[in-house]
Amino acid sequence: MAYDKFTVLKSTAVPLPIENVDTDQIIPARFLKATKREGFGDNLFRDWRYNGDDTPKADFVLNNSIYSGKILVGGKNFGSGSSREHAAWAIYDYGFRCVVSSFFADIFKNNSMNIGILPVQVSDAFLHKIFSAIEADPNTELEVNLPEQTITILATGESESFDINGYKKHNLVNGFDDIDYLQAMREEIVAFAQKSRY
């Protein structure tokens, strides 16, 4: 799927300092019944965000208007559990373009990059600094620079570099996806597959 190119993102951030945020929390299974990729943002963090009668839960961060932005900052082991790409779709559809954590679950990380969300893995110490900075001032801006592979807390100038493989970085910066690449090597794949054991 085509998505927006990702280069430098400067934005305030929404803090969610909870560990092991699993994809069932990001989007509960009962909201996976669509056959199109639209509207999942409405149910992002549904059961943390709304009561059973659909009234907003005042103490959940997405219902607190002092926090906003295109960057979601989560606790360690973000995106564990189910492989549902709907979790990444919901995050994207809500308006986030980047998720920061000190540790990501594998499948969520792949799913995110495949739809144009940048997962930025930072150290535990830097994650703590980000949470502290947002707590001190919800208007704190972060700058995520993909070409340079850095994330900076603009108010303090503190910065850390992050890893991403060159192939995925190239894709995100240019808005390419894997299927474009795979289609271009179609003959090579067919030849390989036809002589494979299964």
Partner 1 sequence: MSSKPTTLFDKVWDAHVVRDIQDGPDVFLIDRHFIHEVTSPVAFLGLKNRNVSVMFPERTFATADHNTPTINQHLPVQDPLSANQLKALEENTSKHGISHWGLGNPKNGIVHVVGPENGITLPGMTIVCGDSHTSTHGAFGCIAFGIGTSEVEMVLASQCIMQPKPKKMRINVNGEMHKGVTAKDVVLYIISKLTAAGATGYFVEYAGSVFESMSMEGRMTVCNMSIEMGARGGMIAPDETTFNYIKGREKAPTGQAWDDALAYWKTLKTDEGATFDIEYNYDGAEIEPMITYGTNPGMGMGITELIPSAEDIDAGKASFAKSLQYMGFHEKEPMLGKKIDYVFIGSCTNGRIEDFRAFASIVKGRKKADNVTAWVVPGSHVVEAQIREEGIYDILIEAGFELRQPGCSACLAMNDDKIPAGKYAVSTSNRNFEGRQGPGARTLLASPLVAAAAAVTGQVTDPRTLIA
- Interface with partner 1 by CB under 8 A: which residues? 1, 17-20, 22, 24-25, 28-30, 32-37, 47, 52, 75-77, 80-86, 88, 103-107, 110-111, 114-115, 165-168, 177-179, 181-183, 185-186, 188-190, 192-193, 196-198
Token pair in block for residue 181: 């690449």
Element housing 111 (H / E) = helix 106-115
Sheet with 141-145: list strands edge to edge.
118-121, 98-101, 71-74, 8-16, 141-145, 150-153, 158-161
Please identify, using beta-carbon distances, which residue of 65 and 193 lies nearer to partner 1: 193
* Smallest separation, CB 162 to partner 1 (Å): 15
* Smallest separation, CB 70 to partner 1 (Å): 21
Please identify, using beta-carbon distances, which residue of 12 and 111 lies nearer to partner 1: 111
* Smallest separation, CB 151 to partner 1 (Å): 21
Please identify, using beta-carbon distances, which residue of 50 and 152 lies nearer to partner 1: 50
Please identify, using beta-carbon distances, which residue of 10 and 49 lies nearer to partner 1: 49
Element housing 15 (H / E) = strand 8-16
Backbone angles phi, psi at 173, to 5 degrees: -65, -30
Please identify, using beta-carbon distances, which residue of 65 and 163 lies nearer to partner 1: 163
Closest CA to 154 of 145, 144, 141: 141
C-beta atoms surrounding 23 within 10 Å: 24
* Smallest separation, CB 154 to partner 1 (Å): 27
Q: Are 56 and 47 in contact (CB under 8 A)?
A: no
DSSP annotation of 185: T
* Smallest separation, CB 167 to partner 1 (Å): 3
Q: How many residues are present in the chain?
A: 198
